[in-house]
Amino acid sequence: MIIAANFKTNHTRESTANYLEALNLFLDAYPTHCDVRVYPAASSLLRADLYPHVKLGAQNFYPAVNGAYTGETGAQQLDEFGIKNVLTGHSERRIILKETQDFIAKKYAFARSNNWEIIYCIGEPKDVRDNGFKAVAEYLWAEFDGIDTDYEKLSVAYEPIWAIGTGISAQTEEIAEVLDMLKAELKSVPLLYGGSVNAENLRQIVSLKSCGGALIGNAALDAANFCKLIQIAQNK
Ligand code: PGA
């Protein structure tokens, strides 16, 4: 079970360090079978080996070791922190930062060539959801264009765009329908759900037979709350 916190553009370097310290202490006191991951902002990355119970990851990277890519972070910069896992394909990067499927596929291939663990995010907008499951399925499969899913360090996060940050999670039946469809094709790839996950809905979500974890934004910003979510996943 993967339980991952996506900080997005939240937390400073100092508050990230305090958070990770608290989380690592908690996991030391209450060992978990969950694979706990935290994705801080690029400016708040810390050495991954300082927090042995947590996998630190990068929310974003440029598909190059280094070079002339103003404002971007390459593999050399992530290596310095011992970062070996990344998010790719998040809808905020697809929509706000205008990342195309072609560019996302390049990033994915680069992450794979570095042997990084990848949480690859997919999710449909509201207007597609309103057109029914067939439309959702078509939309989601198109987000696999150029993505070689035959990779043992891949997890896929289904995050309906209309459920992200809105406080309105998808219904458990809607999540189950999509995760079951993905499972039929992706077999052993762990499947996560993301989109307004919180302490009230997590237990039901992680109990779904095709669900292998959750990618959590808002509800994971507070360390104590994230610890609570880990416990819920642990005890499901
Ligand atoms: P949320 O974000 O939990 O705040 O909806 C999830 C995500 O975007 O990964």
Q: What is the pLDDT of residues 153-211, one digit of tens each?
A: 999 999 999 999 999 899 999 999 999 999 999 999 999 999 999 999 999 999 999 99
Residue with tokens 């990277």: 61
Per-residue model confidence (pLDDT) at position 99: 98
| 167 touches ligand 1 (CB under 6 Å) | no
* CA–CA gap between residue 199 and residue 197 (Å, rounded): 7
Q: How far apart are the first and last CA of the chain?
A: 11
Residue 236: band (very low, low, confident or very high) from pLDDT cuts 50, 70, 90: confident
Candidate from 88, 124, 164 with most ligand 1 atoms within 8 A of CB, to mutate: 164
| 208 touches ligand 1 (CB under 6 Å) | no
| 186 touches ligand 1 (CB under 6 Å) | no
Task: From residue 62, give the alpha-carbon distance in Å to each of 26, 110, 111.
Answer: 33, 9, 10
- pTM reported for the whole predicted model: 0.97
Candidate from 90, 196, 225, 229 with most ligand 1 atoms within 8 A of CB, to mutate: 196
| 217 touches ligand 1 (CB under 6 Å) | yes
2-234 carries CATH number 3.40.50.300: no
Helix (H, G, I), strand (E, B), or coil: what is residue 177?
Answer: helix
Catalytic residue, chosen from 14, 72, 159, 177, is 159
For residues 43-61, give the mean pLDDT.
97
Examine the residue annotation and report whether 72 is marked as an active-site residue of this protein. Answer: no
* CA–CA gap between residue 146 and residue 140 (Å, rounded): 13
> Token pair for residue 106?
């390049």
- 85-144: pLDDT as tens digits: 999 999 999 999 999 999 999 999 999 999 999 999 999 999 999 999 999 999 999 999
Per-residue model confidence (pLDDT) at position 235: 86
Residue 123: Cβ-neighbour burial (10 angstroms; 0-12, 13-18, 19+):
buried
Shortest-distance Cα residue to atom 1 of ligand 1: 217
Q: What angle (nearest 5°) sits at the alpha carbon of residue 109, between those of residues 5 and 51?
A: 30
| 218 touches ligand 1 (CB under 6 Å) | yes
pLDDT at 14 over 90: yes
pLDDT at 233 over 90: yes
pLDDT at 66 over 90: yes
- Return the amino acid letter for 193: Y
Per-residue model confidence (pLDDT) at position 130: 96
